[in-house]
Each structure stands twice: as structure tokens, then as C-alpha cells.
Amino acid sequence: MSSKKTENALLNQLRNGRLTRRQFLINMMAAGLAAGGVKVLSPASGFGGLAFAQEGRPLTPTFYEWIVSIHPLIKDEVDAKFPGGVNSQIAPVEGFDVARFVAEAKMGQSTWDVYVGMTPFVEMAGLVKAGVIEPWDPYIPKEVLDDLIPSIREECTVDGKLYSWPFLIDVIVQAWNNSITSKAGIEDKAPANWDEYLANSKQVVDSGAAPYGCTFDAHGWRSLAPITHSISTNCYYMLEGDPSGVPLYDFTSEPALQALEIMKRMLELSSANALQPGTTDGGVNLTPDEVAFGAQRVAYYVKYQNAPLRYARKWPDPSALRLAALPSGGEGATVFWTTGACLFKYGQNKEKAVEYMKALTYNMAIWKDSISGVPSGHHPGQLPPFQSIWDQMKKENPDWLQANPWAFLVLDQLKVAKAIPNHKYGLQQFIIGQPYWEKYLTGEEPDPKKAMQEAKDAVVAEMKKVGDL
Amino acid sequence: MASTAISKPIAHRRSRLYGLRDGVNWLYVLPALFFFCMYMLYPIIEVIVISFTDYKFLSSEPMRFTGLTNFINALQDPLVHKGLLRALYFTSIFLPGVIFIPLFVAILVDRVTNPALASLYRVILLIPAVIPGPMIFVLWRWMYDFEVGPINTILVNYLNLFTYRNAPQWLGNSPLTIPAIAFVEWWWGLGYHTMFFLAGLAAIPKELFEAAKVDGANEWQMFWNVTLPRLRPIFVVLVVLRFGTAMAVIDEYIIMGGFNRALPTYTWTVYMWHLAFNIGNWFQGYAAAIGWIGAAAMLVVVGLLFYVFRDRD
């Protein structure tokens, strides 16, 4: 490599924050370019300011607010002890709105170094496409990369590169309130299939043990897709002319149609407002199913594991909560996703960001709180994405883990679970399609095939309208 | 004499112009001018420009001029039509309530002769107005909650008028949604709008009422012939201001209804936001065109309102 090329390569690494000013100078000296290095870093070069800024600013991660609020140890345990200090902030992303990140990237800058709160199938493809984030691969240690549970690593990867450093896992499971089911005379075991699930739910209603037998979250990625996966994960298709090369959910596939039928039967045993939106994050969170389950008005529930855990804490007898794999519709799979961290392309402190994420995601105190509940009373119910942490927990098998057997149950689901592909429309396809498949659920459209075809067509029409096809 | 008479105003105007040309005077205007240009003029121009392009926020490709394509497509977009109609429906419920209820309350409060009591009523009325918007919406989301909200709890558990199978659904995909949100807005703005009318009532000379009484007018005739015509400027301000805000409501809809397109809360403003910040590559050129179509529709109605409320004296 010529000296000019070496200087340029090092300069790029310095500009991208991969090298500190000190490392840059050492490398330049090693390459016999010490004078050039000093010249580049002199204030007159115009580059010195950037270099100084890199060393002058502490690591600046920004979090989606809910993560910090349910994990108080992030502040007390990780941030407080991180060498050199951390300027942790709350991200301006209410309702998954990442506009600020994109706007800054367009100007070649970033207020923050890392964003902890990205869900791959929700916003990762957009952030990659807009050049807001860069892969972790050049920085992440190999042992950390190899430690990722394979299905999670696959979910966080685009074009062979890891864009999300996973932190928290959500897996769609079934939960039930044993106080209600035992009152209804139902044996304390998980319904093995959907017919049994619906029969038990009906028994709950008929016996008067609770007003509703079962409930679900109306958002497609939390109900339609997981129930479909329980039947078959062969429910995605490549749309002709779609340049992304990533499959979309096939609303008209056989498993999707069967899932819709199951949802219709569930709705008859659910609260009358089960299809209504939630109260926070643009209707996405604090949904009616959560309210009904928390208020002990319903026995069976389909949702990601931490929702029933959180709401059962408010029951007079939280030990009545049971969790299990989704009832099988054939394949017995489900949906999972992680919430992780992305690395801003124009951020700084890249090496520090790696150290911080390692400190954050490998912190056993956080995982203990997450699995067993925090002293203040709430239950984060999140799980670690690294195999070595699970191995360690299995080996040590502490009391708090034994008291929460659901953790391993959810982990086991990852072996069969499948993430929704990281398409730009990964989440939006379900929002766009919802009004159409709901027509069948509400009885407005008697033909499920027609309702689902309309949902599929609406997604394609939207992509055409906005020029994405 | 004549020449002197003409030259005086000219000289006065010239001196005023010289005064404005004086750099020091311009300095006083600069901050306001700066904020007007940066926070109003520039964004407006920017949105006009991108509405004629294929500008996509997440795309790295340079934007291209597409002429009227976005406007033509938006005018043919059923979601734009539906969105505008939904907003108009909300406005038609919201606007009468936000005018006539505060007017009625203002007339009642104006009649209170005890100064301490009158002040107390004013303070009580203003309490909702000082609560931040998001808190109001969260509060009313809870009030309207199907399962645990106090309204349904009273209707089902105490009055036994409904069961939880047929209890009213105040929000979501329900015909009650828009009236329910309009009611929140009435409640929230009651004190604020009442103050407008109280100010208007205070400005009406008492002699007019005394003269009307002498002429034998009853209360209704005094209200109709004295009070109402004198409050016309307040009506104009409130109707025009609140029409604009009602048609452009977005926060309430997103908080109360999210992005489900089947819901009555998915209006043209929510659609615009959804396109600009959520869908695909964030086609902001198209979203901007929808914004201009909405703004144009509103301007037409505002023009009509000014015509209706024109001064007929």
C-alpha cells in the first residue's frame, strides 16, 4: 500500500471514529508518516477540531425511554461504572420515529454514538438504506459475535453484516391465569393445540369464571404472524419487482388463512374491544388485551412473554400466571424479535461503544432483575441474547432462576421461532393490511380469502404509490 | 397654502422612511424578521418545493422535479378524500360546541356580581386549559377505556345499563369515537374560549342594555339584538382559528387511534404523517402535496367564513 493510501485509510478511520487521535498518530508513526500525522491533526488543517471532539466527548448512547424505565440498573450499574463516563440520553423516538437520526446523518453528523431501542424488522432496513447506521462487524469482538444465539444473529444481519447488537428478546408465547382456569375446572396444563385452546377458553366463559376466555393483541406482528408461524413458517413470498430482495408476509398463504380463522374464533371469546388500538406509542402499546389480562377478566392470552409477566405482578396472586409455547397448529413455531443497539455512522467513540454494549448486555445483575423482577416491584421479563450467559445461568442455577422457570421455556422457543424478515415494510405491511383482514374478523367480509387478498393488494398498492416498486 | 398642505404629509412620510432606513431601527426588527424567515417562511417554501418533487427522506438518490404529479395522484387518492371528510366531520361536531358552550358559560359567569365568586369561576374554568395536551389525552383515554374506564364502570357496574359484551366503545372503530374526541376538546378549551367571550361581553357598553330595557326589550331580545352583534368579532376570531386547528388535528388522533386506516381517527393529517415518517422510504414529496391540498381546502372554507361573518354595517 502506498504511503498516500495508508494515510487516507487511517484518515478515514479517524474520521469515522474507528481510531482515536492517539491511535491515529501511533499508526502514522508506524507507517513512517509521523510528520503527516502531526500536520493533519494541527488546528490549521481543519481536521484537528474533529479529532479533539472525538476525544473530548464522552460516549453518548441514547435509549428508547421504556428500556431505561424498566431496567433501572442501566443507569446505576452500567453507566455509573463505565470507565471514562457515559452521557446517556433518552432518544427522541416516540412512536418509533427515527426522523431525527436520519436528518442528522444527512448532514454527516450525529449527536449520539449508539441508539439502544432498534427493533430489526421495524426500522433497521430503513436506517441501513438511509446510511444512518453502520455494521458492528469491524468493531465487535469475534467471541461476542460467535456467542450470539444463531437465530438472533440471523435476525440482526443484513447482507451478511450485523447492524443490530441485540439486547432484549421478545418471543410470542401463550399465558394463562390459573386462578381463572382452575375455577373453570380446567386442568393446569398448557393447551397443546388451537382447538384445545379455544375449547378451554369457551369453558372459561361458559362456567362464568371470567367474562372472556382468551384475548390477543390486534397488531398483526403480535397475533396474525405468530399464529401463522405456529401452523407453518412457510408464509412469506418474494414480491416481483421488489428491489429489496427480502420477502413479505403472504396474507393469502394457507397458514395465514388458517391463522385468521383461529383469530376469528378467539375474538368471539375475547373482550368486545380486542381490536381497538392501544394508548401509547401511536396505539401500539398498552393495548386492550393487556388491560383485560391485567384486570383478570380473561384467562388465556397470546403475547410476548414480558407482557403477562408485567401484568401478573398486579394480581392478588401473581403465582397464578402460567406461560407456555404457543399452541401448535402444525409446525409449532412462533415469532420473536430483539430490541438492540445500532451504531451511528457519524457517531464517535466506536470502540467505546463496543465496550459499553458488552458491559450492558453481559451484565448479570440486569439479567437477574429482568428475570426475577426488580425490587421496586415491576417485572421487565426480558432475556439475554448470548449463549454464554445462558450457559452460566444453567451451571450456577441460582434460586431466582429456579423460581422463574419460564425463562428457559422462552429460550427453548428460540429454537423454533422465526423473525419477521427485515423488509422496509416488515412492520408496516401489517399496519396497512389490518383494516382488510379485520373485515373478516368483524363479519363485514364473510370470505377470508377475499379479505386477505385485499390486505395483500393494499400493501403492494402502497409500495407502488410511494415509488418503492 | 395649498402647496404647504400637501408637502407636510409627504415630508412626514419621508422622515418615517428615513427613520426606517436608519440601521438602528432595523436592528429592532431583525430578531422578529429572522424568526419569521427561519421558522415560517423557509419551511413553507421548502414544503412547496418538495411537493413538486419525488423527495424521499430515506433515499440517498437526489430528488427530481415531478411537476404536478404528486398533486394529481393525491387528488385521486381515496385515503386523501376519506381523510378530509373525516376531519370535516370532526370539525362539524367540534366547532358548534367550542363556540356556543363557552358563549353560554360566559353569559352565566358575566352575570355573577360577587367579584370573589366571579374570579373563582374563572379559575375553575381555566384549570383544564393549563393541563398539557398529552396529559389530557392520556387522562381521557383512561376515562373512555372499555374495561377499566370510569364511564363504562358506572354504566355497567353501577347503573347496569350495559354488560361488557355490549358496553359503548368510546374509541377505536366506533361511531362514538369522533364525538368522544370532540367532547374532550370542548372540555379542554371551555375555560380558554369562555375568556374570549367574557372579554367581549365586558366591552359592550352597559348603556345599550339600559336603553333596550327602557324600550321594553326582554332578556332574549337583548341577547339577540345587543349582545350577539357586539360579539361578532369574537365569533370571527374563534370560528376561523378553531376551524383551522380542528381540520388539522393530529396529536389526538394518533394518541387515541394510532395508524389503523379503518379508524375514523385516520384523517388526512395522520395519513400525511404516516407517509412522511413511517412508510417505505418516507415519500415526503407526496406527503407535502397532501398537506397543500388540505391547506387549500381549509383556505377556501376560511374565505367563506370571512364572507359569512363580514361587516354588514
Q: How many CA atoms lie within 13 A of B256 on its CB side?
A: 37
Q: Is B141 on the interface with A (CB under 8 A)?
A: yes
Taking Cα atoms as reference points, which of A335, A382, A461, A16 lies closest to residue A167?
A382
Contact A421, A236 (CB under 8 A): yes
- Does A16 score more than 60 pLDDT? no
- What pLDDT, in 10s, does the model give residues A228-285? 999 999 999 999 999 999 999 999 999 999 999 999 999 999 998 999 888 777 778 7
| A65 DSSP 8-state letter | H
Q: What are the chain A neighbours of B272 within 8 Å (beta carbons)? A: none
Between CA B153 and CA B165 the distance in angstroms is 13
Q: What are the chain A neighbours of B261 within 8 Å (beta carbons)? A: 431-432, 434-435
At residue A12, the pLDDT reads 56
**Which grid coordinates are listed for B110?**
358575566
Which chain A residue has the Cα nearest residue B69?
A: A465
Q: Which domain holds residue B97?
A: 67-308
- Does A57 score more than 50 pLDDT? yes
Q: Is B92 on the interface with A (CB under 8 A)?
A: no
pLDDT in tens, chain B (313 residues): 344 444 555 556 555 555 666 677 778 888 999 999 998 999 999 999 999 999 999 988 889 999 999 999 999 999 999 999 999 999 999 999 999 999 999 999 998 989 999 999 999 999 988 888 878 888 898 899 998 899 999 999 999 999 888 899 998 889 999 999 999 999 999 999 999 999 999 999 989 999 999 999 998 999 999 999 999 889 889 999 999 999 999 988 888 888 999 999 999 999 999 999 999 999 999 999 999 999 999 999 999 988 888 776 6
Residues 6+ apart with CB under 8 A from B23: none
Between CA B43 and CA B2 the distance in angstroms is 51
Give the number of other CB atoms < 10 A from CB of residue A185.
Answer: 10
Q: Is B60 on the interface with A (CB under 8 A)?
A: yes
Residue found under cell 353569559: B107
**Which grid coordinates are listed for B304?**
367563506
3-state secondary structure of A124: helix
- Residues B277, A99: C-beta atoms closer than 8 Å: yes
Q: What are the chain A neighbours of B278 within 8 Å (beta carbons)? A: 96, 428, 431
Give the H or E element holding residue A311: helix A306-312
Residues 6+ apart with CB under 8 A from B281: A126, A129, A424, A466, A467, A468, B56, B57, B58, B59
**Which grid coordinates are listed for B179?**
364525538
Q: Please report the DSSP string for A190-237 in residue order.
A: --SBHHHHHHHHHHHHHHTSSSEEEEE-SSGGGTHHHHHHHH-S--EE
- What pLDDT, in 10s, does the model give residues A145-174? 999 999 999 999 999 999 999 999 999 999
Q: How far is CA B93 from CA B116, B136, B176, B242, in A?
A: 35, 19, 12, 12
CATH code at B280? 1.10.3720.10
Strand A89-90 to strand A298-304: parallel, antiparallel, or no bridges (unpaired)?
Answer: unpaired
At residue A30, the pLDDT reads 64
Q: Is B279 on the interface with A (CB under 8 A)?
A: yes
- Does A144 score more than 80 pLDDT? yes
Residue found under cell 368471539: A268
Contact A133, A327 (CB under 8 A): no
Cα A109 → chain centroid: 26
Which chain B residue has the Cα nearest residue A127?
A: B58
Q: Is B260 on the interface with A (CB under 8 A)?
A: yes
Q: Is residue B139 included in any domain, yes or no?
A: yes
Q: Would you identify the CATH topology of the domain A171-336+421-465?
A: D-Maltodextrin-Binding Protein; domain 2 (3.40.190)
Q: Is residue B152 included in any domain, yes or no?
A: yes
Residues 6+ apart with CB under 8 A from A458: A432, A433, A435, A436
- Residues A468, B278: C-beta atoms closer than 8 Å: no
Which option is the CATH number for A61-169+337-413: 3.30.428.10, 3.40.50.300, 3.40.190.10, 3.40.640.10? 3.40.190.10
- Does A74 score more than 70 pLDDT? yes
Residues of chain A with CATH 3.40.190.10: 61-169+337-413, 171-336+421-465
Instruction: Kindly tell me the burial class for residue A282, based on how many C-beta atoms sit within 10 Å of its own C-beta (0-12, 13-18, 19 or more).
Output: buried
Residue found under cell 370542548: B186
Q: Is residue B196 included in any domain, yes or no?
A: yes
Between CA A302 and CA A299 the distance in angstroms is 11
At residue B249, the pLDDT reads 93
- What pLDDT, in 10s, does the model give residues A350-374? 999 999 999 999 999 999 999 998 8
Taking Cα atoms as reference points, which of B245, B270, B276 lies closest to residue B258?
B270
Taking Cα atoms as reference points, which of A175, A227, A225 lies closest to residue A201?
A175
Taking the alpha carbons at both ends of chain B, their separation in whole angstroms is: 37
Q: Is residue B12 included in any domain, yes or no?
A: no
At residue B12, the pLDDT reads 60
- Residues A435, B260: C-beta atoms closer than 8 Å: yes
Between CA A282 and CA A278 the distance in angstroms is 8
3-state secondary structure of A41: helix
Q: Is residue B222 included in any domain, yes or no?
A: yes
Cα A127 → chain centroid: 15
- Residues A272, B145: C-beta atoms closer than 8 Å: no
Between CA B229 and CA B57 the distance in angstroms is 50
Nearest to B281 among A271, A283, A466 (CB): A466
Nearest to A284 among B147, B148, B258 (CB): B258
Contact B144, B154 (CB under 8 A): no
Name the residue type at position A211.
P
Q: How far is CA A247 from CA A242, A250, A455, in A?
A: 9, 9, 16
At residue B46, the pLDDT reads 94
Strand A114-118 to strand A336-344: parallel, antiparallel, or no bridges (unpaired)?
Answer: antiparallel
Q: Is residue B175 included in any domain, yes or no?
A: yes
Strand A61-63 to strand A114-118: parallel, antiparallel, or no bridges (unpaired)?
Answer: parallel
Q: With helix as H, strand as E and coil as C, how does B210-248 read?
A: HHHHHCCCCHHHHHHHHHHHHCHHHHHHHHHHHHHHHHC
Strand A236-237 to strand A212-216: parallel, antiparallel, or no bridges (unpaired)?
Answer: unpaired
Between CA A333 and CA A111 the distance in angstroms is 40
What's the alpha-carbon Rg for chain B, to the nearest Å?
A: 26
- Does A219 score more than 70 pLDDT? yes
Nearest to B164 among A96, A272, A279 (CB): A272
Between CA A277 and CA A434 the distance in angstroms is 11
Segment A294-298 mean pLDDT = 95
Between CA B102 and CA B262 the distance in angstroms is 33
Closest approach of B256 to chain A, Cα-based (Å):
6
Instruction: Kindly tell me the burial class for residue B309, based on how many C-beta atoms sit within 10 Å of its own C-beta (0-12, 13-18, 19 or more).
Output: middle
Best mutation site among B61, B274, B279 for testing chain A: the one with the most A CBs within 10 Å? Answer: B279
- Does A50 score more than 50 pLDDT? no
**Which grid coordinates are listed for B198?**
367574557
Contact A213, A205 (CB under 8 A): yes
At residue A282, the pLDDT reads 73
Segment A75-85 mean pLDDT = 92
Contact B286, B275 (CB under 8 A): yes
Q: Is B172 on the interface with A (CB under 8 A)?
A: yes
Nearest to A291 among B60, B145, B280 (CB): B145
Closest approach of A31 to chain B, Cα-based (Å):
36
Cα B2 → chain centroid: 52
pTM of structure: 0.84
Taking Cα atoms as reference points, which of A80, A104, A77 lies closest to residue A93?
A104
Residue found under cell 363557552: B102
At residue A37, the pLDDT reads 57
Closest approach of A226 to chain B, Cα-based (Å):
20
- Residues A466, B60: C-beta atoms closer than 8 Å: no
Nearest to A435 among B60, B147, B262 (CB): B262
Q: Is B230 on the interface with A (CB under 8 A)?
A: no
Sign of CA dihedral A220, A224, A229, A232: negative
Between CA A296 and CA A270 the distance in angstroms is 13
Contact A98, A326 (CB under 8 A): no
Nearest to B254 among A272, A282, A288 (CB): A282
Taking Cα atoms as reference points, which of A217, A391, A193 lies closest to residue A305?
A217
Segment A329-337 mean pLDDT = 95
Q: What are the chain B neighbours of A277 within 8 Å (beta carbons)? A: 171-172, 256-258, 260, 263
Which chain A residue has the Cα nearest residue B165?
A: A272
Q: Please report the DSSP string for A344-393 in residue order.
A: ETT-S-HHHHHHHHHHHHT-HHHHHHHHH--TTS--------BHHHHHHH
Q: Is residue B29 included in any domain, yes or no?
A: no
**Which grid coordinates are listed for B254?**
394518533
- Does A51 score more than 60 pLDDT? no
Residues 6+ apart with CB under 8 A from A108: A346
- Residues A276, B172: C-beta atoms closer than 8 Å: yes
Contact B259, B313 (CB under 8 A): no
Q: Is residue B13 included in any domain, yes or no?
A: no
Which chain A residue has the Cα nearest residue B274?
A: A428
Backbone torsions φ then ψ of A235, nearest 5 degrees: -135, 25
Between CA A415 and CA B251 the distance in angstroms is 41
At residue A386, the pLDDT reads 96
Q: How many structural domains compose chain B? A: 1
At residue B138, the pLDDT reads 81
